[in-house]
């Protein structure tokens, strides 16, 4: 399912994270806010499965594994550089039996080929959609992979509408360096999809719209 756009984006992400991956978790904890709040609300069923799209270093997968000790976890990332860190962290915490990660494009990967599974109870996108050019396609694809009674959980940047204008402008310029673009219409798009699929939709705004948690299902 590889595409030219997907291959180009993979190369871009590898270039960004070849060095950054070594300090990613130490630095991003100060501004990727809301991730642990999302994890606390996953309510993974006993023996359930969790897929993270854009798993990066594996930080969230490891925290989910600790929080929900009976679940099985899977992670996808387009960057092979980030997956080097994910593999190292999973090994460090001795979670190879519970966490499996693979390289792929979020907009159209074969989950059975990569993980031996077609459906997942919970799917997580944590600050990944703001880095995926075709993020709408990634959301639509994720929804096709949900098990019955499953849910999609997204945490990402809000539009900082309630923040001082100077802070908002500075943050957006900083994010642009890393090819991050907050999606102002993400909540509206997710709501429309949920209505079409007759699924529940929730959007929680955090820290004066610094970030948002969106749930479908």
- Quick check: 97 pLDDT over 50? yes
CATH top-level class of 4-216: alpha beta
CB-based burial label for 176 (10 Å; 0-12, 13-18, 19+): exposed
pLDDT at 9: 73
- Rounded to an integer, the average pLDDT of 97-122 is 97
- Distance from C-alpha of 12 to C-alpha of 22, rounded to nearest angstrom: 17
Percentage with pLDDT > 70 across the chain: 88
For the chain, what are the domain ranges?
4-216
Mean pLDDT of all residues belonging to the chain? 90
Reported confidence tier of residue 179, pLDDT bands at 50, 70, 90: confident
């Amino acid at each position: 399912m590889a595409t030219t756009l997907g291959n180009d984006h993979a190369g871009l992400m590898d270039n960004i994270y070849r060095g950054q991956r070594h300090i990613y978790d130490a630095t991003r904890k100060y501004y990727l806010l809301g991730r642990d709040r999302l994890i606390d609300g996953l309510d993974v069923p006993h023996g359930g499965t969790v897929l993270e799209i854009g798993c990066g270093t594996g930080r969230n997968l490891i925290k989910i594994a600790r929080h929900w000790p009976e679940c099985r976890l899977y992670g996808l990332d387009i960057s092979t550089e980030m997956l080097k860190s994910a593999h190292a962290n999973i090994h460090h915490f001795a979670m190879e039996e519970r966490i499996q990660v693979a390289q792929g494009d979020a907009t159209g990967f074969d989950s059975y080929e990569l993980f031996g599974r077609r459906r997942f109870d919970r799917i997580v996108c944590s600050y990944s959609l703001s880095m995926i050019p075709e993020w709408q396609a990634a959301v639509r694809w994720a929804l096709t992979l949900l098990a019955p009674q499953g849910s999609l959980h997204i945490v990402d940047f809000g539009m900082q509408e309630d923040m001082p204008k100077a802070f908002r402008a500075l943050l957006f310029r900083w994010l642009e360096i890393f090819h991050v673009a907050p999606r102002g219409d993400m909540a509206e798009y997710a709501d429309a999809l949920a209505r079409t699929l007759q699924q529940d939709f929730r959007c929680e705004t955090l820290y004066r719209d610094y970030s948002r948690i969106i749930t479908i299902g």
